[in-house]
Structure formats: structure tokens, C-alpha cells
Amino acid sequence: MKEINRRLKILLNWAKEDKKYIYLSILLGFLAGLLIMVPYMGIYNLINTIYTGTLTKDILLKLSISVSVSILVRYTLFTIAEILSHKGAYNTLFKIRKKLISHMSEVPLGELNSKNRGEIKKILNEDIEKLELFLAHHLPEVVMYLTGPLAVFVYLFNVNMGLALITLIPLPIAFYFQVKMFKDTGNYILEINDVSNNLNSTMIEYITGMRLIKSYNMTSSSFSKYKEACHEKSRLWKKISSIMGPNFASFTIFIEFGLLILIPIAGTLFLKEVISPSIFILFLLVGSLYLTEIRPLLEIGGHFSQVLSSVDKIEEILNLEVFVGGSNNFPQNNTIEFNKVNFSYTGEEKILKNINISINEGQRTAIVGPSGSGKSTILGLVARFYDVDSGEILIGKENIKSIDYTTLLENIAIVFQKNFLTKESVFKNITMGKDYTLEEVREACKKAQIDDVIMKLPDQYDTLVGGHDTRFSGGEQQRISIARAFLKDAPILILDEATSNTDPENQEKINIALNNLFIGKTVIIVAHRLSTIVDCDKIIVLENGEVTGVGKHHELISKNKYYSQVWDKYKLSRDFSYGKGDIVEE
Ligand SMILES: Nc1ncnc2c1ncn2[C@@H]1O[C@H](COP(=O)(O)OP(=O)(O)OP(=O)(O)O)[C@@H](O)[C@H]1O
């Protein structure tokens, strides 16, 4: 119960700015609930007048008008309550979504990567939607469905206390089945959450891997992870339904059980003339039925546990730690140093072991090494996507942990191996939400050797990316990414060079763009091409998470075994290749 209260408090706190809508809808729900009494009172008056022989046309008219008006007013109140609660709920949902997205943008990448993509998608989409159920439906409806029967009970209690209490007998039995249903399905509801996460992430994998699936002529059934996730979800729902079914039926039957108790008891009292005929009929008609008004509560209760679990999931993301504090003054000197850095992604396998390197200000430093040796990991640590396990990373002698995280990221431009373009205009894809003029963007694109390609598009910089004419090649995407870095103009540049081969013309353009970009920057490159590496001021050789060599190209050829092998292979392949952009990676 304490846990339920805690989660409800959190949820209501999220809705606090829109509480006026929600509270008002609860109030209207309450009034609508009270009005349930009117038809029942009408029935009693009708029976009374029939038995006392006082029924007149006038009474009949008044009764029918009051019952009709009460139904109309009840309907109107309920409609307004629903409109208000939905307004409050969707305002709140919007704010929670905004809060989540802005929090996620501040969370270090490593923390986010620890969650699977399907889980995040489910939280942002399905879990947030579940809160709507509670705010827009549960709150006003629970109040209405409880107030109505309660008001009728008070009315019956006034008419005949003993019989009114007897009408309550089915209630504990019915609730027993409801509680049993929650208990029996509780663990499965938690399990269904995990299964939904898994289904979501396999679905994302399935869609992302569609090209592979098609190229190997695989069918959806051959993507077994997705198939299994679908089966698992369907198996769980069948299980939950089989538990819910009998409990749901028992609840419904027992809530309508009143007549069975009232006929013998109220009947005996009537025969013994303890109660009047009108009271007898009132209890047969109303006393046995009014509890059925709470039947929708069962369904609401069924969803309630899912709402609570969604609150937990949203909280999990909001509780992900963000880097706070630190200096807003970025160091003047941009030399980057790694001092005794150790790092592991999982806490088990060490990916980087006692790394001591320095990347000098204004110079180009390349990191080379076999696949999986930890090159990209080093880049990620400089941008603080992850924090080191031990040791320290300094920029201008200042530990990066003491620099404000946004300031740090503002001073680092990253050109990734895989480039990401959104379905927006080319302009927006380059400015990435920042304020730049078209002239500034064009200037950056000219330096990145991509302006001519964009100017040939149907709407030039306003062309929507992803349409028929705007599918950029890998090389063009890379140049767009370089244009972004030009615009950002950060003093430190991190470049994860693409491993895939591009045609010589594209490669030449990329080389020109990069050489323009490198000017005056502190550059750290994970390099795969000899053409990039040989010109670097410093080359760091990384093997199995350890630095095995540092020097210039000509020094490493003679003193580093891995590097000299790579060089030999390159020389061998040079005779068979067609251009400068040859891959020399193992
Ligand atoms: N997010 C992650 N979680 C767990 N392990 C990871 C993660 N990213 C990388 N690794 C592991 O860390 C090791 C180093 O990866 P990294 O990407 O740094 O290597 P790399 O030298 O850049 O490789 P490549 O040249 O193939 O890109 C690999 O064994 C990889 O499987």
C-alpha cells in the first residue's frame, strides 16, 4: 500500500500544473455519481403512491421529468468531466514527454546504452499513454462509480437500516475475487512488461535489418528472435486471460447476487408485515441491483497495476544520473591527456588497460589498431559518453569531470563513422536545431565539398531528406557530417573514420573537406586509411586495449610490429588498387 501511495504521489506531482482540470473532473464525476440516486428514488416514490392509491397523472409527469432531467444532467456532467480530465491528462502527458526527452539528452550515452532501445521506445510511447488511462479515466470514473452506489446505499439505509446492510453481503465476496485476480496476475503483468520491451527491441532490430532480410530472401519467420518474442507475448496474455476469466466471472456473478439473499429475507419480513410492500419492492428492485454500478471498477482495477508499473518505468529514466556542475570556462589549452586510464563497459572485461597518452593541442593524432582493440572507446571517453573506471582524462590539465558537461560537448565536434540524417530539410539536418543563416550553412557546405550536390536538389537546402531524389550516398553523408563540424567550429575534433571504401572521387572530396576542417584544431582520429595516418603528427598504436606504440609514421614502421605489418600489407595491395583511398585495416 505504501508503494502504491508513493507511485500515486509521483504521478499526481507530474500532473500538478494541470490539477485544476483533473480536480474539477473529479468533482463533476462525484456530482454525476450522486445523480444515480434520482431514478431509484423515483421508483420508490412510484411504488409508494401505487400502494397508497395516491398516484396521479401529475405525480407521474413530475417523476418522469425529474428522472429524465437527472439522466440528462448526469450525462452532461460526465461528458464535461471527461473533456476536462482528457485536457489535463494530455497536457500532463506532453509535459512528461518533454521532461523525459530533455532528461535523456543530458544523460551520458553510456547510461542510455545500458537500456535496450525497445525498452526506451516502450516507455516513451506505451508507458506514457498508460498514464492517460489513470488521469483521464480512472480518477473521474472511480469517483463516479463509487459515489453512485454509496449514495444509493445511504438512501436505502434511511429507508430500512437492516435490509440496507444485508444488500452489502455480496460485496466482500466479489472483492475477494477482484483482489485474488490482482494477486494471481501481478507477476505476469510485470513479466508482460519485460516481454513487451523485448518485442519492441526485436521489432526495431527486425526493421533495421530489413535490408539484410531481403537480400538473403529471409522471411519474417526466419527472424527467430522476433517470432519468439511474439509467441512469448501471446503465451503470457493467454495465461493472464485464463486467470482473469474465472475471477472476472465470479466478481460479476457475486455482485449481482443480492436478489438471492433479498428474496427470502425481505420476503419473510414482508409476509410478517414487518416491512411495507413498497419497501419490499424497493429492495427487490434497487437493493439487488445498485451494486452492479461498481462493475466497471473491476476493469479500471485491472489497468491500475499497469499504470503503476508505467510510473516505475518512467521514473527509471528520470532517475538516470546526469552530469551536473563543473566549470563553464573551457580550458584555453586543448591538449588532451589520458593518465593511467582503465575502462570496462560491463564492469568485467577490461577494454582499456592503463592508457597513458597525450593528444597535443593543434596537432593531428591518429589511433590505429586491430578491430575491437578499443579505438572508438577512447574517442567516447574524451566526449564523456562514459566515465573512466580509474585514472583521469585531462584537457589543458583540467579533469574533464570538472568541466560542465554541456560546455565540454560544445567544445568538441564529432564526425562519426555512421552518419545520421533525419527526415527533415537538408538545412535542418546540417544546423541540428541551432541558429545559423543560409549563408553560414552554405559556407560550411562549400568547405565540406557538398554544397554543389545540395544545390542540384529540387528544393536545394529546403529539400526533404529521405525522398526519392534525396538519398545521399555514404560519402555524401559523411561530407554533410563534416559540414556540421565546420559549423560547430569546436577547438577539439574527434573523427571516427569510416571503414567502408568509397569511390576515389568521393574519397578525394572527403580528404579535401577533412584537410580544411583540421586546420587549427586539436584532432584525434580513429584512422583506417594510410593516406590519413601518414600525415599525422602522432600515431598511437592500440592492441587489445593497450598502447603498444607511439610515434610518427616512419618511426613506427621500424619499431612497432603491428604497424610495420599493416604497412607491408598496404605496400603489397597498392599494386592491385585503384586509388589513394585504400583500406589498410586488418
Ligand atoms: N557499448 C558497448 N558495450 C559493451 N561492449 C562494447 C560496447 N562498445 C564496444 N564494446 C566492446 O569494446 C571493445 C572495443 O570496442 P571499440 O569499438 O572501441 O573497438 P575499435 O578498436 O574501435 O573497433 P573497430 O575498429 O572495429 O571499430 C570491443 O570488444 C567491443 O565489443
Q: What is the pLDDT of residues 69-114, one digit of tens each?
A: 999 999 999 899 999 999 999 999 999 999 988 888 888 777 777 6
Judge if 385 and 460 occupy the same domain: yes
User: Do 354 and 299 reside in the same domain of the chain?
Assistant: no
Q: Which residue lies with its CA nearest to atom 28 of ligand 1?
A: 372
Same domain for 456 and 568, yes or no, is yes
Task: State whether 361 and 440 are in the same domain.
Answer: yes
Give the whole-angstrom CA distance, residue 513 versus residue 450.
Answer: 9
Atom 27 (ligand 1): residue with closest C-alpha?
Answer: 371
The residue contributing the CA closest to ligand 1 atom 10 is 345
User: Has residue 567 been placed in a domain?
Assistant: yes
Does some domain include residue 176?
Answer: no
For residue 245, tell me if it sits in a domain. no
Which residues is 496 bridged to in the sheet?
526
Same structural domain, 405 and 305: no
Ligand 1 centre from 375 Cα, in Å?
8
Examine residue 177 and state whether it is found in any structural domain, yes or no.
no
Claim to verify: residue 286 and residue 370 sit in the same structural domain? no
Residues flanking ligand 1, CB < 6 Å? 113, 345-346, 351, 369, 371-377, 526
Q: Are residues 296 and 350 in the same domain?
A: no
pLDDT at 585: 38
Check: pTM over 0.80? Answer yes or no.
no
**What average pLDDT does range 438-466 have in this prediction?**
89
| Structure confidence at residue 202 as a pLDDT band (50, 70, 90) | confident
Q: Is the pLDDT assigned to residue 197 strictly greater than 80? A: no
Residue 114 lies in a domain: yes
Q: Is 477 part of any domain?
A: yes
Do 381 and 341 contact (CB within 8 A), yes or no? yes
Rounded average pLDDT over 119-134: 84
**pLDDT at residue 218 in the model:** 64
Asked if residue 539 and residue 436 are part of one domain, the reply reads yes
Domain identity same for 59 and 90: yes
Q: What are phi and psi of 197, to 5 degrees?
A: -60, -45
For ligand 1, what atom is nearest to the CA of residue 374?
Answer: 18
407 pLDDT tier (thresholds 50, 70, 90): very high
Q: How many CB atoms lie within 10 A of CB 458?
A: 11
- The residues pairing with 493 across neighbouring beta strands, listed in sequence order, are 413, 523
Q: What is the mean pLDDT of residues 166-173?
A: 89
Q: How many domains does the chain have?
A: 2
Whichever domain contains 561, its CATH number is 3.40.50.300
Nearest CA, atom 6, ligand 1: 345
Q: Are residues 311 and 343 in the same domain?
A: no
299 and 373 part of one domain:
no
Q: Is 155 helix (H, G, I), strand (E, B) or coil?
A: helix
Q: Which residues are CB-neighbours of 397 under 8 A, at least 6 positions away?
A: 331, 333, 335, 337
Query: Could you give the angle at the alpha carbon of 436 between the alpha carbons of 430 and 440, nearest 5°?
Result: 85
Which CATH number covers residue 44? 1.20.1560.10
Residues 416 and 269 in one domain: no
Domain that holds residue 367: 336-574
